[in-house]
Amino acid sequence: MSKAGVAAPFCPRVRFSGAGGEVAALAAGDLSSGLAAMLASRIESSADASIPSAEMRIDLGDSVAAAPASPGALEGDSFDVSRQGGGAGSIVIRAATEGGLIHAASNLLEKLGADFPPGAAPSYPRIDSARLAALRPWRVTPAFKRRAFVSDIMTWNYNFADRLDLHLRHDREFIPWMARRGINAFSYIRHAHDTRLKIDEIAPLLRERGIDVEYGGHVIQLLLPRERFAEHPEYFPAGDDGVRIARGNLCVSNPDAVAIVRAGALAYVHEHPENRLLHIWGADVWRGAWCRCGQCRELPPQIQYMDVVNAIAGALADDSNAPPVAYLAYHDTIDPHPGLRPLDNVWLEWAPRERCYSHAIDDPACEINPRYLESLKRYIEIFNGRGHVFEYYADAILFGGLGFATPAVVARDLRAYRRLGIASISCLTFGAYSAMAYPVNLEAFVRGSRDPDFEPDATLVETSAGRHPRCAPEMAAAYRAVERASKLCLDYADVMSPVMAPEKAVRKRNELREAALTFNEAIAAADQIALSLDTPRADAEKDLWRYSSDVLAGLSDYLGAIGEAGADRRIRGKAAIAKVAGAIERIREIDPEIKGTWGAYDLEWIRELWLSALARGLDGDGKPPEELF
């Protein structure tokens, strides 16, 4: 009783399953702390043995009813929210998995007005208890069963303690955001020079949020150690001249070489039982990674690769606990071969990196994407619908480190993939840099992986408001300018590799110049933010857009130089490359806490490769474009 003899208002409380694990407990903790912030009162949470393992309850009154029988089965990561006992009863949250409870809790908080923007802290506005009591039942069944983010292990810079610590500070914010937004898988890409298969330091963050982990990547070169070349060159691929080389993948006609790779892949499975999808990919190069010896040269890359994948999958076929094996359709294998015969535990992983991102994958007006969509359709037939799509909506390398926003493309893509029966989607990310450069795309991806019918423009506006609540109108105008610029740039794969037919180069030169000017519009819109506001995140994005404008202006000049002959070609070309090179100063001004390890360290060495490739492209050398860039 209060001092006046009046009963104090009842504070809601959260109960979760006493039989649940750490994921359910964390979901309840998230829910209670969010409600406490919004109701400005203490919200207790407690375990209750009578509640099923993937269920939580918000009690709105003193009476606590026993948990009834579950009204219906839930699948995947679906969840529902229902009412029991009227206005003073309980809000019942059920999920198919404990991980689904975290998504359900954040979804409930969102309906009350909370916001979970990418790359920014959650927002919990104040509400009164009547708003909580007024919630009506709803149900969510995500459109895609597997919703994953993917990252290269090397971007953690794990050999340097200070750099690793910088990345881990981002992970401690990004992984909770992933779980709240419904992401249920995280995949590591290992490369030949990596000494780690995973980042152990973030394993607890993923586990306690019910996020599955996946290992592998471009590892065939690791599974057949290069030091074996001296003693057994016959294990290794031959070039067109028949000479064995230590680079590339392996000689698939050599049973001992295949056996070594198979044994290494099986070790991944047996030593890491938490792995939910085994990614065994070839070398990350164009041309030359597969064998051209007398026996192999008649086998296309797709068949050579499938022979390796099937050998691994065949050894795992009788193990009910083993994960499926991914066949990566990428570069040399992006087009299916009619002779492919995947085993039943082999799944397609389709990665259309060179597609156009100015248009949706199913846009018939695009001059590039119809070929890729046809490739996917044929692969789906070959794999009897067993397929994952690997997308690049936040790929800092593909996009040259420039800032882009393509929410309408993301939305239409995901609708097209679902119509084709694809139920698994992933997106490549580059840590804090992706959150800075592609926040709209990250938000569009998480929304679309749950419901592809989301509204792209609303996503852009709401992302700007969530990331920049004190200057939302200015940043929304800036994001719209970035979206317009994006459409002018993203129709030729790698932004930093302007390889195209001469007739297209003339048009593209003008489009890149227009895109550079459009980025200046974004900067001008952001410049309208009151000087009195402390906006480090907006300031960082403005520096990013300045970098983007400078680079695109340089690339436009570069395409103009390529069209020249003689001395003018080299003079103008070198000036254009110098303009691209100088743009990096814009990124160097950004706080490492915002741009992350990729912006602080990886971009520095990757840009040297880009600049060297631009110089080689200026010289020509008569090499195929994929070897110049």
Residue with tokens 């007024």: 134
pTM: 0.95
Contact criterion met (CB below 8 Å) for 204 and 246: no
Contact criterion met (CB below 8 Å) for 59 and 135: no
Helix 536-562 with 566-582: angle, nearest 10 deg = 170
Pairing of strands 325-329, 45-48: unpaired
Give residue-wise pLDDT tens across range 93-125.
999 999 999 999 999 999 999 999 999 999 999
CA distance 318 to 314: 8
Helix 439-450 with 407-419: angle, nearest 10 deg = 30
Exposure class string for 437-472: b at 16+ Cβ within 10 A, else e: bbbbbbbbbbbbbbbbebebeebbbbbbbbbbeebb
Q: Percent of the chain beyond pLDDT 70?
A: 95
| pLDDT at residue 69, rounded to an integer | 47
| pLDDT at residue 622, rounded to an integer | 43
CA distances from 119 to 107, 171, 428, 441, 467 (A): 18, 11, 16, 12, 7
Residue 449 is inside which H or E element, if any?
Answer: helix 439-450
Residues 6+ apart with CB under 8 A from 310: 341, 342, 343, 346
Contact criterion met (CB below 8 Å) for 214 and 188: yes
Parts of the chain with a pLDDT under 50: 1-2, 4, 7, 69, 622-629
| pLDDT at residue 606, rounded to an integer | 97
| pLDDT at residue 601, rounded to an integer | 98
Other Cβ atoms closer than 10 A to 241: 7
Give residue-wise pLDDT tens across range 223-261.
999 999 999 999 999 999 999 999 999 999 999 999 999
Alpha-carbon dihedral angle through residues 385, 388, 393, 397, given to the nearest 10 degrees: -130
CA distance 86 to 108: 18
Contact criterion met (CB below 8 Å) for 15 and 51: yes
CA distance 34 to 168: 24
Q: Percent of the chain beyond pLDDT 90?
A: 88
